Homo-oligomer: A and B are copies of this chain.
Amino acid sequence: MAKGKKLVYSFGGGKADGKAGMKNLLGGKGANLAEMANLGIPVPAGFTITTEMCTIYYKMDRKYPKELGAQIDLAMKKVEKVMGAVFGDSENPLLVSVRSGARVSMPGMMDTVLNLGLNDVTVQGLIKQSKNERFAWDSYRRFVQMYGDVVLGMKPQTKTEEDPFEVIIKAKKQERGIKVDTDLTVADLKELVLKFKAKIKERTGKNFPEDPKEQMWGAVNAVFGSWMGERAIKYRKINNIPGDWGTAVNVQAMVYGNMGDDSATGVAFTRNPATGERIFYGEYLINAQGEDVVAGTRTPEPVNHKTKTEASQKTLEEVMPKAYKTLEGIYKKLEKHYRDMQDIEFTIQKGKLWMLQTRNGKRTAAAAFKIAVDMVKEKMITKKEAVMRISPSQLDQLLHPTFDPKAKKVVLAKGLPASPGAASGQVVFHADDAEEQAKDGKKVILVRIETSPEDIGGMNVAQGILTAKGGMTSHAAVVARGMGKCCVAGCGDLEIDYEKQQMAVRGKVVKAGDWISLDGSSGEVMEGQVQTMQPKLTGDFGTLMGWADTFRKINVRTNGDTPNDAKVAREFGAEGIGLCRTEHMFFEGDRIKAVREMILADDLEGRKKALAKLLPMQKGDFVGIFEAMDGLPVTIRLLDPPLHEFVPHEEEAQQALANDLGTSLEKIKAKVASLHEFNPMLGHRGCRLGISYPEITEMQATAIIQAACELSKKGIKVKPEIMIPLIGSLNEFKNQRDIIKRVADEIIKKSGAKVQYMIGTMIEIPRAALLADEIAKEAEFFSFGTNDLTQMTFGYSRDDAGTFLPMYVEKGILPDDPFQVLDQQGVGKLVQMGIKLGRGTNKKLKVGICGEHGGEASSVEFCVKAGMNYVSCSPYRVPIARLAAAQAELK
C-alpha cells in the first residue's frame, strides 16, 4: 500500500519538498516548516514523515513498509549536507529533534524527543563542536531522561510517585548539598547519565540504545504510537478530530537555545492573543531549550519593551537587539504571508536566530474579533474572510457573564490573566477528581502547580484553571484559551500541597471543596462565589456582527418568556421571538394558585372561574412582551406541559392547597394521583390539553389578542403568531385553530383594532413531519421543535438518556449528543421532509426552528440549507446563530 509513495518530505537550505497547503499530508508543523523554508526564513533542516505513513503504520499493525527506511536515509543525507554535520558522527555529530505534527495543532498531546543522536561517543563530538563540556553532558542527560520518559515508558507508576529520573536528580542534589540544576557539575551530569541508564535497565530489562539510528526509529515509533494514546484520543474527542487523520513525524536538526548566554529560546504571537491588540507579544528564556518555556518550569521574560509588565524584566529587544530585529522582520513577513495572526517558536543559538514553528495562533473570542476587524482595516483580509475567521463556539465565551465590578470580592492572590472569563467553582487538585466531581454535576476549579497534557480531561470539565507556575504561553494558558475557558496562570503566591489537598495563599488555607472565583481577564483569584453581570457587546463585536448580518439571509429570533428576555435578546440582535412558552408564566406568584384551582375544578364551570382569574395576569405578560418586541413577530406557544407539573406532590403542600381551596386533602391526593403518568413526555399535554379543555385555549387566545388590540391602539406594532404545540394530525390542528380564530376574530371585531395574527404549529412529533403536507394546508407557519422531535425520533427521554448517551458518544455509536447537535441524518431527514411536504401544499408557509439547536452552529447551517425562514434560540446564543447563519451562506 506504500509502493512508490513519497513518504518523506525534506525541507531546509532555502527550499522544501512541501508547502503550507499540504497540511493534510505533512501536518501543520511540517507544512509550515516547508513553507518557511521556501520563504527563505532560516529553519533548521529536516524532513517530515507523512500522516499517510501514520495510517499505513496502523493498517500494517504498527509496522513500516520497506520503502520508508531508504527514503529516511536519503532525507537524512540532505539534512547532513545543509547543516554540515553527520548523524552519529564522533567528531561533528548531527543531533535531531523528533516531533509529532497533526493537521491541526494538538498542543502537548503527543510526544517529542530532543537531542537525539547522542551517545557515549557522539557526546564527545558535541563537546568539540560546542566547546562546552557541561552543555554537552547536560544535553546528553536531558536526552536520556526524555527518551526514557517518552520512548521507554519511564513514568511515575502511581498518582503520588515522583518521576523516576527526578528522584535520582533530587538525591544527587541532596548529596551534593546544592539547590538548583545549574549547580550540577560535569561529573555530576556524567554520573546522572549512568544512573538514568541503570534505572532504565532495571525497569525495562533492556539497555539504553546507543545506536543513533535505533534511537531514531524508537522515537518515530513513539510519536506514531502517541497518536493512539489515551491523552490524544481524549483530546480528539473533545475537539471532534477524526482518528483517521493520523499525525506526521518531523525530524529536524537540533539548534540550541541553551548553548550559553548568547543563546535563547522563545515563543511569540504576532498580536496579543488575549486582547487582539496589534503588538508583537512573546516570551523567551536565555540559555534554555524550547520545552522550558512551554512547560512553565521557569517563568520567562517578555520579548520587547511594549509588553513589559515589571521594570525588572529584561527583554530580548534589550539583551539581543540584532536577533530581535531579525525576528521582527520575520514575524511581519509571516503574518503578511499567512494573512493571520501567527504563533511562532524560535531559538537563538550563539546569536543566530532559527525559526522552529509558525502557525495560526489560538486566541480569545475578543481577540479574534479585534484581529479580524483590524485586518480588514489594514486591508489584509476581506469582510467575508473576517466573518469566517470567528468560530461560533468561541463566540460563546464572549457572551458569558463577567464579574460585576460592584460585587464584593476578597482577592486572595493575583496571577497572569491567561485566558479571559469569569469562573466560580469548588477547588480540586487533580484532573481525575475534576472529571469525577463534574460528572456529579459539581462546578469545579482545577488548581495545579502546572498542568500537563495528562490533565486535559479535567481541564475540559472545569469551570476554570488556576496554576502556580507557567506564563501566558504555558500549557495551561494555551489549552485554556483553545477551550475558551477561564485561566489564571503562574500565580506564584500559591503553595499547593497535593498530599494535604490544600493550598496556602499568604497564610490563608484553601482546601479541596472550598469555593473560589477566577477572573481570567485580570488574573485575580477570589474567595467564594463572586456575583456576575451581563457582557456588553460593542466595538469590534458590533462591527463584525454587522458585516455578518449583511451576508446572512435567514432570520434569527429568540426563545423568551418574559419582557426581560425579550429586551436582552433584542440587544443581542434578535429579530423576533420564536418561542414564548406561556406555561412559565403559570408558575409565578399568585398564578400557580389559580392554575391549581383550575386543575382541581370538578367541572367546566369551576375551570372557567379559575381561568377568569388567570386571564388578566396572562394578558399582562403579553402586553410586556409585545411592548418589548414592538414591530417584531412574537410566536406564542399555548400551554404545553402535562397538568401534573402544576400540582404539589408533597403532603404538606397538598394540605396547604386543600386549606386554600377549602377542600379535603384526600380530594387533592386523588386528583394528583389521577394525573400521574408513566411517561409524561408522551402523555396528556400540548394540544391534547387544549382539545380536552377548550376553555384553556379560549383563555389563552383571549389574553393574547386582547393584549395585541390594546397595544395596537397605542401605536405599538404587534405581530402575534399563535402556535399550537404537539400537533400530530390535521384534525387536532383544526380543532384548536377553530377555537382560536373564533375567539380572536370576535375580540378584534369588538375592539376595532387592526391586528393581524397568524396561527401555526410546532412540528415536534414525527407524525406531524410525516403528514406536513396535510397540516400545511391549514397552518400558516411551522416551527420545528427539535428537542421533542429528537426525543421521539430517537426514542430517547431527555431526562433519562444521561444513563447511556455519554457512553454512546464515548463508544462512537453517536457522533454527538443529539440534544446538543442536531442529528441531521435522522431528525434532520424528518425536518427536510416536513419542509418539503409543507411547502408543497402551502407555498407561503413560514418555517422556523425553536429547539435548542437553533443556537448551535452546525445545526444553524443545516437550517439555512434546509431553507428555513428563521432560527430561534436562547437570548445568549442569538449572536452565535447570527454568525453561524452568515458563515453558512459564505461557505
Residues of A in contact with B (beta carbons under 8 Å apart): 677-684, 688, 691-692, 726, 728-729, 731-732, 735, 764-767, 770-771, 788, 791-797, 799-801, 803-804, 807-808, 811-814, 823, 825-827, 829-830
Q: Are A795 and B803 in contact, CB atoms less than 8 angstroms apart?
A: no
Using A770-B830, A792-B766 as known contacts, say yes or no to A797 and B683 having CB atoms under 8 A apart.
yes
- Alpha-carbon gap, A812 to B732, bound state (A): 10
Q: Are A794 and B767 in contact, CB atoms less than 8 angstroms apart?
A: yes
Residue in B682, B726, B800 whose beta carbon sits within 8 Å of that of A797 in the complex: B682
What residue of chain B has the Cβ atom nearest to residue A795's Cβ? B765
What residue of chain B has the Cβ atom nearest to residue A679's Cβ? B797
Give, as a whole number of angstroms, the nearest-CB distance from A70 to chain B: 40
- Alpha-carbon gap, A677 to B798, bound state (A): 10
Which chain B residues border A682 with CB–CB below 8 Å?
679, 681-682, 791-792, 795-797, 800-801
Q: Are B770 and A731 in contact, CB atoms less than 8 angstroms apart?
A: no
11 additional A-B pairs beyond A729-B813, A729-B814, A792-B795, beta carbons within 8 Å, are A678-B799, A678-B800, A682-B682, A682-B796, A682-B797, A684-B803, A691-B808, A728-B794, A731-B812, A766-B795, A771-B829
Which chain B residues border A829 with CB–CB below 8 Å?
770-771
- Alpha-carbon gap, A691 to B823, bound state (A): 20
Q: Are A800 and B679 in contact, CB atoms less than 8 angstroms apart?
A: yes
- Alpha-carbon gap, A775 to B160, bound state (A): 48
What residue of chain B has the Cβ atom nearest to residue A676's Cβ? B800
Which chain B residues border A800 with CB–CB below 8 Å?
677-680, 682-684
Q: Are B813 and A793 in contact, CB atoms less than 8 angstroms apart?
A: no
19 A-B pairs with CB atoms under 8 Å apart are A677-B800, A679-B799, A680-B800, A682-B792, A682-B795, A682-B796, A683-B803, A684-B800, A688-B804, A691-B808, A726-B795, A729-B813, A731-B812, A731-B814, A732-B813, A767-B823, A767-B826, A770-B793, A788-B795
The residue among A681, A692, A826 with the most chain B CB atoms within 10 A of its own CB is: A826
Give, as a whole number of angstroms, the nearest-CB distance from A438 to chain B: 18
Ranked 4 nearest A-B pairs via Cβ: A682-B797, A679-B797, A767-B826, A678-B799
What residue of chain B has the Cβ atom nearest to residue A735's Cβ? B813
Residue in B679, B688, B726, B771 whose beta carbon sits within 8 Å of that of A680 in the complex: B679
Give, as a whole number of angstroms, the nearest-CB distance from A644 to chain B: 11
Residue in B691, B766, B811 whose beta carbon sits within 8 Å of that of A766 in the complex: B766
Using A688-B804, A808-B691, A825-B771 as known contacts, say yes or no to A765 and B788 having CB atoms under 8 A apart.
no
Q: Are B678 and A797 in contact, CB atoms less than 8 angstroms apart?
A: yes
Q: Are A767 and B788 in contact, CB atoms less than 8 angstroms apart?
A: no
What residue of chain B has the Cβ atom nearest to residue A805's Cβ? B688
Q: Are B770 and A691 in contact, CB atoms less than 8 angstroms apart?
A: no
- Alpha-carbon gap, A200 to B826, bound state (A): 69
- Alpha-carbon gap, A666 to B552, bound state (A): 58
- Alpha-carbon gap, A797 to B795, bound state (A): 12
Which chain B residues border A691 with CB–CB below 8 Å?
804, 807-808, 811, 813
- Alpha-carbon gap, A732 to B794, bound state (A): 12
- Alpha-carbon gap, A480 to B866, bound state (A): 56
Q: Are A684 and B795 in contact, CB atoms less than 8 angstroms apart?
A: no
Which chain B residues border A678 with CB–CB below 8 Å?
680-681, 797, 799-800
What residue of chain B has the Cβ atom nearest to residue A681's Cβ? B679
Q: Are A728 and B826 in contact, CB atoms less than 8 angstroms apart?
A: yes
Which chain B residues border A735 with CB–CB below 8 Å?
811, 813
- Alpha-carbon gap, A766 to B770, bound state (A): 11
Give, as a whole number of angstroms, the nearest-CB distance from A799 to chain B: 4
- Alpha-carbon gap, A435 to B812, bound state (A): 53
What residue of chain B has the Cβ atom nearest to residue A825's Cβ? B771
- Alpha-carbon gap, A729 to B804, bound state (A): 14
- Alpha-carbon gap, A771 to B829, bound state (A): 9
What residue of chain B has the Cβ atom nearest to residue A677's Cβ? B800
Which chain B residues border A796 with CB–CB below 8 Å?
682
Give, as a whole number of angstroms, the nearest-CB distance from A242 to chain B: 15
Which chain B residues border A813 with CB–CB below 8 Å?
691, 729, 731-732, 735
The residue among A679, A680, A683, A830 with the most chain B CB atoms within 10 A of its own CB is: A679
Q: Are A795 and B826 in contact, CB atoms less than 8 angstroms apart?
A: no
- Alpha-carbon gap, A726 to B684, bound state (A): 24
Which chain B residues border A680 with CB–CB below 8 Å?
678-679, 797, 800
Which chain B residues border A684 with CB–CB below 8 Å?
800, 803-804
- Alpha-carbon gap, A729 to B766, bound state (A): 17
Q: Are B728 and A795 in contact, CB atoms less than 8 angstroms apart?
A: yes
Which chain B residues border A826 with CB–CB below 8 Å?
728-729, 766-767, 770-771
Give, as a whole number of angstroms, the nearest-CB distance from A395 to chain B: 31
Which chain B residues border A788 with CB–CB below 8 Å?
795
- Alpha-carbon gap, A681 to B771, bound state (A): 24
Which chain B residues border A692 with CB–CB below 8 Å?
803-804, 807
What residue of chain B has the Cβ atom nearest to residue A684's Cβ? B803
- Alpha-carbon gap, A827 to B684, bound state (A): 20
- Alpha-carbon gap, A823 to B683, bound state (A): 18
What residue of chain B has the Cβ atom nearest to residue A686's Cβ? B795
- Alpha-carbon gap, A731 to B808, bound state (A): 10
Give, as a whole number of angstroms, the nearest-CB distance from A685 to chain B: 9
- Alpha-carbon gap, A656 to B254, bound state (A): 72
Which chain B residues border A827 with CB–CB below 8 Å?
767
Q: Are A793 and B812 in contact, CB atoms less than 8 angstroms apart?
A: no
Which chain B residues border A793 with CB–CB below 8 Å?
765-767, 770, 792
Which chain B residues border A814 with CB–CB below 8 Å?
729, 731
- Alpha-carbon gap, A702 to B771, bound state (A): 43
- Alpha-carbon gap, A765 to B770, bound state (A): 14
- Alpha-carbon gap, A684 to B827, bound state (A): 20
- Alpha-carbon gap, A79 to B808, bound state (A): 81
- Alpha-carbon gap, A425 to B145, bound state (A): 88
Give, as a whole number of angstroms, the nearest-CB distance from A668 to chain B: 19
Which chain B residues border A801 with CB–CB below 8 Å?
682-683
Give, as a whole number of angstroms, the nearest-CB distance from A130 to chain B: 56
Give, as a whole number of angstroms, the nearest-CB distance from A479 to chain B: 30
The residue among A764, A767, A797, A814 with the most chain B CB atoms within 10 A of its own CB is: A767
What residue of chain B has the Cβ atom nearest to residue A812's Cβ? B731
- Alpha-carbon gap, A793 to B731, bound state (A): 16
Give, as a whole number of angstroms, the nearest-CB distance from A656 to chain B: 25
